[in-house]
A and B are shown apart, each in its own frame.
Chain A
Amino acid sequence: DAKTTQPPSMDCAEGRAANLPCNHSTISGNEYVYWYRQIHSQGPQYIIHGLKNNETNEMASLIITEDRKSSTLILPHATLRDTAVYYCIVRALNSNSGYALNFGKGTSLLVTP
């Protein structure tokens, strides 16, 4: 699975858009980009995933650059409840790294009033 790089922490004002970047410059053509988040003391929560097209669901939008070397998770109107650690994971179908999800250290997002 391709290695990902995320900033360790970010701040965002409540009501503003939170844009969380992820660099995955060694991504292969068959690898998807997944985003999860973990609110303090809770289990990780799946947010969204994509291959090359931008994706949107009720939680967030995922923007993947044309060369697929980076992506951005967008929370359009951040609330205090969005304070969490956000993980960007890149993996392929039939990943040769087995079944483990490599969460890494993620980005700690703090949404402030």
Chain B
Amino acid sequence: NAGVTQTPKFQVLKTGQSMTLQCAQDMNHEYMSWYRQDPGMGLRLIHYSVGAGITDQGEVPNGYNVSRSTTEDFPLRLLSAAPSQTSVYFCASSYTGSRGGDGYTFGSGTRLTVV
């Protein structure tokens, strides 16, 4: 089925551990992004990419790293997990990003708890 696939769906980390959240899309979308959603805070942009080999920071990039080696994949790496990174993470993609009038497709989310 076409869409955005995120793995894992749930993850518990210990403080200081690192991990990678995976995001893949099969719609040949140029634009991909990562958001985090905290209770009462809404969705906040972490990092985004406008195409393979191009990434940039969003509103809350600290503690996260991204790369975009292929059009399909956009992994998010937590370098050294902290309790403040406990959140729900969403990956989104679109054909043209904010430069176009099309909608974004979101994944189902990764629920991360850092203890």
Chain A residues at the B interface, C-beta cutoff of 8 Å: 32, 34, 36, 41-47, 49, 51, 91, 93-95, 98-101, 103-105
B35 to chain A, nearest CB (A): 8
Contact call B90/A99, Cβ cutoff below 8 A: no
> In the complex, which of the residues A45, A46, A98, A105 contacts B98, with contact meaning CB atoms closer than 8 Å?
A98
B1 to chain A, nearest CB (A): 14
> In the complex, which of the residues B48, B58, B107 contacts A43, with contact meaning CB atoms closer than 8 Å?
B107
17 contacts between A and B (CB under 8 A): A36-B104, A42-B108, A43-B106, A43-B107, A44-B92, A44-B104, A44-B106, A46-B105, A93-B99, A99-B45, A99-B48, A99-B97, A100-B59, A101-B45, A101-B104, A103-B42, A103-B43
Contact call A46/B45, Cβ cutoff below 8 A: no
Q: Complex: how many Å from CA A104 to CA B37?
A: 12
A87 to chain B, nearest CB (A): 9
Q: Select from chain A the residue with minimum beta-carbon distance to B4.
A: A43
Contact call A91/B42, Cβ cutoff below 8 A: no
Tell me which residues across on chain A come within 8 A of B50, comparing CB atoms: 99
Q: Complex: how many Å from CA A20 to CA B101?
A: 21
Contact call B45/A94, Cβ cutoff below 8 A: no
**Given the contacts A42-B108, A45-B106, A105-B42, A100 and B101 also touching, CB distance less than 8 Å:** no
Contact call B45/A100, Cβ cutoff below 8 A: yes
Tell whether B103 is near chain A: CB-to-CB under 8 Å: yes
B90 to chain A, nearest CB (A): 5
Q: Select from chain A the residue with minimum beta-carbon distance to B109.
A: A43
Q: Complex: how many Å from CA A36 to CA B92?
A: 13
Closest 3 CB pairs of A and B: A46-B103, A43-B106, A100-B45
Contact call A41/B109, Cβ cutoff below 8 A: yes
